A and B are shown apart, each in its own frame.
Chain A
Amino acid sequence: MTILKLEGAAEDWHLHLTGDWSLAAMAQIEAQLKTLPDTLQGTLVCDWSQAERPGIGPAWALLMRLAGLRSAQLDVRHTGNPPHYLDLLQKLKSDVHALEAAPHLEPSLERSVENLGRWAVLRGGEVRAVIGFFGRIVTVINEAFPRPRALRLPSLVRHIYETGITAIPIVSLIAFLISVIVAYLGAQQLNRFGADIFVVDLVTISVLREMGVMLTAIIVAGRSGSAFAAEIGVMQLNEETDALRAMGMNPVELLVVPRVLALIIALPMLTVIADAMGLAGGGLLSLLNLHIPLPQFISRLRESLSPTTFWSGVIKAPVFAVLIGMVGTYRGMQVRDSARELGRLTTAAVVESIFLVILADAFFAVLFVQIDF
């Protein structure tokens, strides 16, 4: 469809605008504007009489195109009932300065070294900030000894409820199912040696030492770590944390410490529940699948347990809790300006806390073997 028709010669040109000149036809208008010769000069009369539904955007594109023509001596006039806003657009056109393109930086060895250095400094700054954040939490807790109100008991209780009590069903279910799976698959292997009874050892040691606490920590990192980051992040976006600071209150004391402390209390509790459910799952499978009666299961369980087996799992829980709680609240406090940041940092909080939990668990595994715990 023709939208532009250029007629005339030498110094006298006519531009007929026909057909749909609304925003909807922008692509065609743009393409046809490109075909205008760059060398027009003299007078150009734009005839709007056949343009249908002329839109502001297309009119602007036309003006910009005509202004971009190489010859400065073009005298443009508009006839045929041009749109009423054309005068406004022409006035604006003289005001708008073309944006200068940002100088394009060539990649070079020097620049990549520079970028590497900048990255290292940024990371270094972040490590310092994390240590500072940990320090502020410790300071608040330290100050809370002579002033128990600083512990914010109601807030603490609410967070224990939200991170601990409400997580009991999902933690129980997963611990139960995983230990059933481990016992079932272990039984298949041990059966070949006629060593069915060692399924009890397998379940007991794996659940109490590792799986109970790890599963719980990973579930809590997904549930509560993300919730911490998102809650505090939205408060940051709404300037609520700034409001607290402006009223002389410490957001670390009000928002961070109750959450971290609540996790330190809730995670060991959840771990004990996960341990119990895991043993129950192992016992049930032994009974139904391997026909080991419950009394025999329990006596075998007693034999396989050393005094430290239970504690070597539970003792890790508060450490994991600190990691999850700190990462979640720290990432939340970092949220600035935009909704995208909130999503990015919430994701980072979960990924990093799970990573740190597994890293810490590896550290504990080596430590416990070395000290024979």
Chain B
Amino acid sequence: MPESAAVPVIRVRGLVSRFGAQVIHDALDMDVQPNEIFGIVGGSGTGKSVLLRTILGLRAPDAGTVELYGKDLQQLSAADRSALVRSYGVTFQNGALISSLTIAQNIQLPLREYFSASDKTLQELSELNLALVGLAPETADKYPSQLSGGMVKRAALARALSLEPKLLLLDEPTAGLDPISAAAFDELLLYLHSQLRLTVVMITHDLDTLFRTCTRAGVIVHGHMITDTLEGLLQNQDPWIHAYFHGPRARAAAGTAGDAHG
């Protein structure tokens, strides 16, 4: 793949992740360019979530480097790392909203932590973030346990957006949603991507989401990552990738995506 002139948002080189004798990633390379929506695909147990956690700095790589905006996370001081971490928003698979706080308090939590602002302004900002993800203002005073699965995912996205990130990392954003909610989430993501000029990296098993939203995707096979456009991946002859993109579900998703793009 030719090197792009722009500094990649995420650049992973030779990443090795090990759990005891089990090697999950074996010299994995990954590049995410600014303003793209990048999908991470792979079978269960291939280390998609481990990769995400490594990019987030929650896990130290066993070998190799992870750079965000050209800076190596492991080389940074604690303060610099905290500042860098603030520049990206994350949603976890199950939302990971703090269960004892209301949705508004969840959204305000990082704002309160890092910035000083009056309660009224914080209230306005949480309303803004709820509006951005298409949640009704009444949601603000509810607790996470009172929301449906789709609303939890949106609320988690609202919290991720509260620090105005340039980069969004999403772990299975549409898992567990009904097709209508999942499709609405795809549209929301595309909308936010175009309006806020975000770079998005998402782990997904949802082929519809993958074909609808992603510009490029990386497939983790045998500990390496194969990165290509979706058209390229459809042509790929690796048996696993072929099976993944040419299964009965994939054909349907690819067909409709082709219509949408065409």
Contacts and interface: CB of A to CB of B under 8 A. Distances in A.
Interface of A: 23-24, 26-27, 30, 55-57, 60-61, 64, 84-85, 87-89, 92, 95-97, 99, 336-341
B21 interface: no
Contact of A337 (B131, B143, B163): B143
Contact of A30 (B111, B121, B164, B196): B121
B44 interface: no
B183 interface: no
B128 A57 contact: yes
B116 interface: yes
B99 A340 contact: yes
Interface in B113-139: 114-118, 121, 123-125, 127-128, 131-132, 137-138
A89 B131 CA distance: 9
Contacts of B124: 60-61, 64
A337 B145 contact: yes
B36 to A, nearest CB: 17
B128 A60 contact: yes
B148 interface: no
A30 B131 contact: no
B100 A30 contact: no
Given A92-B131, A99-B127, A340-B99, A30 B118 contact: yes
B137 A30 contact: no
A56, A64, A84, A341 — most chain B CB neighbours (10 Å): A56
Contacts of A338: 99-100, 143-145
B128 A340 contact: no
Nearest to A102: B141
Nearest to A338: B99
Contact of B99 (A60, A64, A337): A337
Given A56-B164, A92-B128, A27 B145 contact: no
B163 A96 contact: no
B137 A23 contact: no
A114 to B, nearest CB: 23
A350 B70 CA distance: 52
Given A26-B116, A85-B195, A99-B137, A55 B164 contact: yes
B197 interface: yes
B137 A97 contact: yes
A57 B143 contact: no
B230 interface: no
B197 A84 contact: yes
24 contacts: A23-B114, A23-B115, A23-B163, A26-B115, A26-B116, A27-B115, A27-B116, A27-B117, A56-B164, A57-B111, A57-B125, A84-B197, A85-B195, A88-B195, A92-B128, A92-B132, A95-B131, A99-B123, A99-B140, A336-B145, A337-B145, A338-B100, A339-B100, A341-B100
A23, A64, A85, A339 — most chain B CB neighbours (10 Å): A23
Contacts of A24: 114-115
Contact of B196 (A56, A336, A337, A339): A56
A341 B144 CA distance: 14
A96 B138 CA distance: 11
B190 to A, nearest CB: 13
A87 B194 CA distance: 12
B132 A96 contact: no
Interface of B: 98-100, 111, 114-118, 121, 123-125, 127-128, 131-132, 137-138, 140, 143-145, 163-164, 195-197
A341 B116 CA distance: 30
A341 B137 CA distance: 26
Given A99-B140, A339-B99, A340-B99, A56 B128 contact: yes
Given A337-B99, A338-B145, A57 B164 contact: yes
A60 B195 contact: no
Nearest to B146: A337
Contacts of A55: 164
A62 to B, nearest CB: 11
A164 B147 CA distance: 42
A26 B117 contact: yes
Contacts of A341: 100
A339 B99 CA distance: 6
A60 to B, nearest CB: 5
Given A64-B124, A92-B132, 15 more contacts: A23-B115, A24-B115, A30-B118, A55-B164, A57-B111, A57-B164, A60-B128, A85-B197, A87-B195, A95-B131, A96-B128, A96-B131, A337-B143, A340-B99, A340-B100
A361 B237 CA distance: 76
Nearest to A56: B164
A88 B192 CA distance: 9
A30 B115 CA distance: 12
A27 B111 CA distance: 12
Contacts of B99: 337-340
B88 to A, nearest CB: 14
A123 to B, nearest CB: 24
A23 B132 contact: no
Contacts of A96: 127-128, 131, 137
**CB-based closest 5 A-B pairs:** A338-B99, A340-B100, A337-B145, A27-B116, A92-B131
Nearest to B196: A85
Contacts of B143: 337-338
B115 A89 contact: no
Nearest to A53: B164
B103 to A, nearest CB: 13
A32 to B, nearest CB: 12
Contacts of A84: 195, 197
B115, B116, B128, B196 — most chain A CB neighbours (10 Å): B128
A24 B114 CA distance: 8
A338 B111 CA distance: 22
